[in-house]
């Protein structure tokens, strides 16, 4: 499991995921999970275990990419810390419910379909570029806490940093795109931390896991992708402040559709 080709594949994946994390505030998880599923399948890991391991490992990696991209966004003063403070408690609860409970019970094919459904929905919302009512604002503390539970729970099921839910959520409440992307990067750490704890507990003695796994987290994959992603996340964040907002929306949507199609195929084909 430590051959040079594997290290090269994981390194390339980490570099790309780090850049996309900084650019789009998605934590890199939605890019890591499908490609890591392919890498594991090529090395004989079954679909049921492979999909779960890829999702859990990508989530653990987000703890590193989120901090790296967050630092770059924070320097530019675009993180809405008031939103982070309101959503974080709910995220912790939702993440624990998903990763330590529901995730461990679901089959890998089902997890693939859930991944595809939510990612496809998010892509459509971004591509349509629907404008919210000018008077629409974020709800109060209770409403944002409930939203945090949903974001943490959905992120735990699909191994993503929450940007595919939190960015559209903030945009729907008239938060500027650059602020939504930056704040999503900040939310990535609590999402990754609490979900990773759940993946370790829920997959502690799961069958069919690759060598060097800690629960559902594959340590070689985590080590290589995380160590590479932290170098490119600041570059993505820098680019996010230069690109026009409509371009960011289109990049986000195209990326999500591509990953949606692959995971839908994975879930339906049983391969």
Q: How confident is the model at residue 28 (pLDDT cuts 50, 70, 90)?
A: low
| pLDDT tens, position by position, 174-223 | 888 888 888 888 888 888 888 888 899 888 888 889 989 999 999 999 99
Mean predicted confidence (pLDDT) in 9-17? 88
| pLDDT tens, position by position, 262-271 | 778 767 776 5
As a whole-number percent, the residues of the chain with pLDDT over 70 amount to: 89
Return the domain boundaries, the chain: 4-269
Quote the pLDDT of residue 130: 60
Quote the pLDDT of residue 131: 56
| pLDDT tens, position by position, 58-77 | 888 887 777 777 787 788 88
Mean predicted confidence (pLDDT) in 7-18? 88
Q: How confident is the model at residue 25 (pLDDT cuts 50, 70, 90)?
A: low
DSSP structure string for the chain: ---HHHHHHHHHHHHHHHHHHHHHSSTTHHHHHHHHHHHHHTTT--HHHHHHHHHHHHHHHHHHHHHHHHHHHHHTT---HHHHHHHHHHHHHHHHHIIIIIHHHS-HHHHHHHHHHHHHHHHHHHHHTPPPPTT-----HHHHHHHHHHHHHHHHHHT--SHHHHHHHHHHTT--HHHHHHHHHHHHHHHHHHHHHHHHHHTTT-TTPPSSEETTEEHHHHHHHHHHHHHHHHHHHHHHTTS-HHHHHHHHHHHHHHHHHHHHHHHHH--
Which of the residue ranges 11-20, 95-104, 153-162 would you say has the lowest mean pLDDT? 153-162
């Amino acid at each position: 499991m430590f051959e040079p080709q594997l290290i090269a594949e994981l390194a390339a994946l980490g570099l790309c995921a780090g850049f996309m994390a900084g650019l789009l505030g998605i934590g890199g998880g939605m890019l890591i999970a499908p490609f890591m599923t392919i890498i594991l399948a090529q090395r004989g890991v079954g679909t049921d275990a492979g999909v779960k391991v890829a999702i859990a490992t990508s989530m653990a990696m987000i703890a590193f990419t989120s901090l790296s991209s967050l630092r770059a966004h924070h320097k530019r003063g675009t993180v809405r810390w008031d939103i982070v403070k309101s959503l974080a408690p709910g995220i912790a609860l939702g993440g624990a419910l998903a990763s330590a409970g529901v995730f461990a019970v679901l089959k890998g094919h089902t997890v693939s379909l859930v991944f595809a459904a939510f990612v496809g929905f998010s892509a459509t919302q971004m591509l349509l570029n629907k404008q919210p009512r000018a008077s629409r604002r974020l709800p109060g503390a209770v409403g944002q806490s409930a939203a945090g539970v949903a974001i943490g729970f959905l992120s735990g099921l699909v191994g993503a940093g929450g940007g595919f839910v939190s960015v559209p959520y903030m945009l729907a409440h008239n938060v500027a795109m650059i602020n939504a992307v930056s704040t999503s990067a900040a939310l990535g750490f609590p999402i990754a931390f609490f979900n990773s704890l759940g993946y370790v507990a829920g997959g502690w003695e799961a069958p069919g896991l690759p060598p060097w796994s800690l629960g559902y987290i594959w340590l070689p994959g985590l080590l290589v992708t995380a160590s590479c992603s932290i170098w490119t996340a600041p570059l993505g964040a820098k680019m996010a402040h230069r690109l026009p907002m409509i371009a960011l929306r289109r990049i986000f949507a195209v990326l999500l559709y591509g990953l949606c199609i692959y995971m839908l195929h994975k879930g339906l084909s049983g391969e």
